């Protein structure tokens, strides 16, 4: 009798135990099905509309100094880094050909005087006189050209940035003898997106930062807006002038140009909410509503520390997911972690 009572109890206990285990598993599965996420409610706020562009500093004017024809260099008078003024002598070419031309001119002048005296008394024809006069004029022109090219002077005030020959070298025409650049002011050429075409005009002030000077801000001004847009890059060029009285800014320096375009009201979201789609440059966020999340594409504006301006895709008051996105799919139910 005792044995039969014990046997009758065992199945009941087993069923209770199995139900208990099964219930725990169902409960665990239910918990695991919902991903726990954190949310943040986002809002509209005023965002400064700024755009940053990169460029290299260029000289305002760059002159290549060279004679008109190949010639030997007699003496160089300045060196790279020297400051020169407009009209200053930079180099003197070899004078051998100049002296020869001067002697030839003197001989032609003597011969012309003789022909001229004979012509006055009818000793030579008019055509002979005209031929001698033409030869004399041509020689004077040749001498004048040689004199102008014998001395190389700077057409601008600036700094010597290149010297490509030494004393006694033969100038061949491949490179200029000197390069002289005006570096006060300097200029920058930036390629600006066509979306800003109507917002950029001559005289607009810009901020310029140079990597070599850290966060120091230099003030520049738009000097020229190119009238056409490149159909391949969808950009247009803008020339910016930068005063450089102390000449701290030099051609070749890397610059970052910031343009300001006022302010606009846009939604701002934390950077943790932004999801980059693999294999593309598209950005998405998960937006929570009625217990589920939706996977929505967004257009980002500027970044501000750890937050992004959103141009489109998110509305004021939306709740965006900031954690657990790697486990989510579109339309999934989630649990909220406070």
Which DSSP state fits 198? G
Give 115's pLDDT tier (boundaries 50, 70, 90).
confident
Residues with Cβ within 8 Å of residue 115, at least 6 apart in sequence: 124, 128, 129, 132
pLDDT at 95: 80
- DSSP helix/strand/coil, 176: coil
The verdict on residue 223 lying in a domain is: yes
> Are residues 186 and 123 part of one domain?
no
pLDDT at 17: 45
C-alpha to C-alpha distance for 280 and 297, rounded to whole angstroms: 12
In terms of residue numbers, what domain contains 125? 67-171
- The average pLDDT across 277-298 equals 92
Neighbours of 337 (CB within 10 A): 11
C-alpha to C-alpha distance for 333 and 286, rounded to whole angstroms: 12
The verdict on residue 18 lying in a domain is: no
- The average pLDDT across 132-141 equals 89
> Are residues 209 and 190 part of one domain?
yes
Q: How many CA atoms lie within 13 A of 37 on its CB side?
A: 30
Range list of β-strands (E), the chain: 35-37, 39-41, 43-65, 71-76, 83-84, 89-93, 151-153, 158-163, 170-171, 178-193, 205-210, 217-225, 235-242, 254-270, 275-276, 283-289, 292-304, 307-312, 319-321, 334-336
Q: Which of 171, 204, 221 is the last residue of a domain?
A: 171
Which DSSP state fits 277? P
- DSSP helix/strand/coil, 100: helix
> Are residues 78 and 129 part of one domain?
yes
- The average pLDDT across 199-205 equals 95
> Are residues 203 and 152 part of one domain?
no
Whole-model pTM?
0.66
CA distances for 337 relative to 35, 162, 163, 197, 299, angstroms: 10, 67, 70, 46, 27
Tokens found for residue 270: 């934390």
> Are residues 309 and 295 part of one domain?
yes
- 92, 209 Cβ separation under 8 angstroms: no
C-alpha to C-alpha distance for 61 and 35, rounded to whole angstroms: 64
C-alpha to C-alpha distance for 214 and 222, rounded to whole angstroms: 22
Q: Which of 242, 261, 280 is the last residue of a domain?
A: 261
Is residue 262 scored above 70 in pLDDT? yes
- The average pLDDT across 180-208 equals 95
CATH, residue 39:
2.40.420.20
> Are residues 272 and 251 part of one domain?
no
pLDDT at 18: 47
| Burial label, 85 (beta-carbon count in 10 A; 0-12, 13-18, 19+) | exposed
- The average pLDDT across 12-23 equals 48
| Burial label, 2 (beta-carbon count in 10 A; 0-12, 13-18, 19+) | exposed
């Amino acid at each position: 009798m005792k044995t039969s009572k014990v046997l009758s109890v065992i199945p009941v206990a087993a069923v209770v135990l199995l139900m208990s285990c099964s219930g725990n598993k169902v409960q665990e599965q239910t918990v695991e099905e919902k991903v726990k996420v954190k949310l943040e409610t986002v809002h509209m706020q005023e965002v400064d509309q700024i755009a940053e562009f990169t460029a290299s500093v260029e000289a305002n004017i760059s002159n290549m100094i060279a004679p008109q024809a190949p010639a030997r260099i007699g003496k160089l008078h300045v060196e790279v880094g020297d400051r020169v003024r407009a009209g200053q002598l930079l180099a003197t070419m070899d004078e051998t050909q100049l002296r020869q031309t001067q002697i030839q001119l003197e001989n032609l002048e003597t011969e012309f005087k003789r022909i001229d005296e004979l012509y006055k008394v009818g000793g030579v024809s008019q055509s002979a006189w005209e031929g001698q006069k033409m030869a004399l004029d041509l020689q004077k022109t040749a001498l004048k050209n040689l004199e102008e090219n014998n001395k190389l002077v700077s057409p601008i005030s600036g700094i010597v940035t290149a010297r490509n020959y030494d004393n006694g070298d033969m100038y061949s025409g491949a490179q200029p003898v000197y390069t002289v650049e005006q570096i006060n002011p300097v200029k920058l050429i930036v390629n600006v997106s066509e979306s800003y075409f109507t917002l950029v005009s001559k005289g607009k002030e810009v901020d310029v930062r140079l990597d070599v000077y850290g966060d120091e801000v230099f003030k520049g001004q738009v000097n020229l807006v190119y009238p056409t847009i490149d159909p391949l890059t969808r950009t247009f060029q803008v020339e910016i002038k930068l005063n450089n009285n102390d000449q701290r800014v030099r051609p070749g320096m890397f610059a970052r140009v910031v343009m300001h375009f006022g302010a606009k009201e846009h939604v701002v979201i934390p950077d943790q909410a932004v999801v980059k789609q693999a294999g593309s440059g598209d950005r998405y966020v998960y937006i929570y509503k009625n217990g589920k999340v939706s996977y929505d594409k967004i257009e980002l504006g500027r970044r501000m520390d750890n937050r992004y301006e959103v141009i489109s895709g998110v509305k004021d008051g939306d709740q965006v997911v900031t954690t657990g996105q790697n486990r989510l799919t579109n339309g999934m139910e989630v649990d909220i972690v406070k």
